[in-house]
Amino acid sequence: MRALLAFALVLSTACHSRGPAPVDDDLRYASHVALAPLAAALRASGGDPARIVRPLRARDLLALRANERFKFVLGLDRHFALAPLPASAPHNEYVHPVLADGAPVRTAGGLRVDHDGSTVRAVVLDPESRSYCTDTASLRAAVRALIAMGVEPASITVLARPVACVDDGAPPVRYGALMHTVGSRFEMLGRALAADNRDAARYALHELDEELDALPTARAPDETTVDLAPHAQGFLAGPFAALKRAGEGDDLGAFRAAWSATAAGCNGCHAVSGHGFLRVPTVPGEAVPGFAAAGDAGAR
């Protein structure tokens, strides 16, 4: 009897030291968007997947600029992959599906580290990913991974957010309103270029770039039956990426030529979406949209 008791004790301590069998019930979130156009946009922006940051220990987080939000994913292996640039940086195409190489993730969102260069004081996580549509509860997996890396549990907080998604668009940006702003920014850019005003041109391009962030997930007009998302991604990765590169250079002639090529890209999507009558002129300086009769310079 005593031997049996001892045996039971040994068994129970053995079980205890191993802990309960781990139950892998963290959800796996699949991406709602295609990787290829996003990977192309990354390359077009001069980005490189090799630059993705993969911290393993708490101190690796000190490499991130303090108090800046960085996009992150937590892979199925429970390791972080972080954008090398803050979410606010221009020309930052390190979006969630790129960070995960298109694979499902445990969670995705934004990560902000408060540190003084030697100690992590606070980590703030948010679950906003329009591609993975992760919810706040999914951040538990990220919190556990941070603790496993040696981050002090009490220093971790989350910013709860409603699920943001390309499908249900939260908040939904409508094409009509977005395009109204895009049109006026693009016109301003053209007028600045026509006037050789590089500073105003760069300003307008920057504003335009910010507006166009919403393009891939914008809600198309109800009567539009074609899927505009691939056209949006093609436009951003193609003519618009070239315009941004031209805007960084010193050659105003090349900047103007890239503006004209971009206008042709705008018109390409207007044609497929049944809005061919909204002609974006290809000559910088003209009003956007233009209503010149076919055959005039601005209508080509």
Closest CB 265 distance from ligand HEC, rounded Å: 6
Cβ 166 to ligand HEC, closest distance in Å?
A: 14
CA–CA gap between residue 231 and residue 233 (Å, rounded) = 5
Interaction of residue 288 with ligand HEC, rule CB under 6 A:
yes
Q: What's the closest the beta carbon of residue 274 comes to ligand HEC, in angstroms?
A: 8
Q: Does 205 bind ligand HEC (CB under 6 A)?
A: no
Handedness of CA 175, 181, 187, 189 (dihedral sign): negative
- In the complex with ligand HEC, the residue whose CB is nearer, 70 or 175, is 175
Nearer to ligand HEC, 30 or 264 (CB): 264
Neighbours of 197 (CB within 10 A): 14
Applying CB under 6 A, the span of 25-33, 42-50, 217-225, 246-254 interacting with ligand HEC comes to: 217-225
Instruction: Identify which of 82, 95, 108 has the alpha carbon closest to the alpha carbon of residue 29.
Output: 108
Mark 227-266 with x for binding to ligand HEC (rule: CB under 6 A) and - for no binding. -x--xx--x--------------------------x---x
Q: Taking CB under 6 A as the rule, does residue 278 contact ligand HEC?
A: yes
Place of tokens 């090799």: 50
Output 143 or 266, the one with its CB closest to ligand HEC: 266
Contact status: 84 vs ligand HEC (CB under 6 A): no
Taking the least distance from each CB to ligand HEC, the nearer of 143 and 179 is: 179
Structure tokens at 248: 């960084």
Amino acid at 283: V
Which two three-digit tokens encode residue 95? 């979006």
Q: Residue 182, interface with ligand HEC (CB under 6 A)?
A: yes
Question: 3-class DSSP state for residue 70?
Answer: strand
* Eight-state DSSP code of residue 53: B
Alpha helices in the chain (DSSP H): 2-18, 35-44, 96-99, 139-148, 175-194, 198-212, 229-235, 241-248, 252-272
| Contact between 269 and ligand HEC per CB under 6 A | yes
244, 47 Cβ separation under 8 angstroms: no
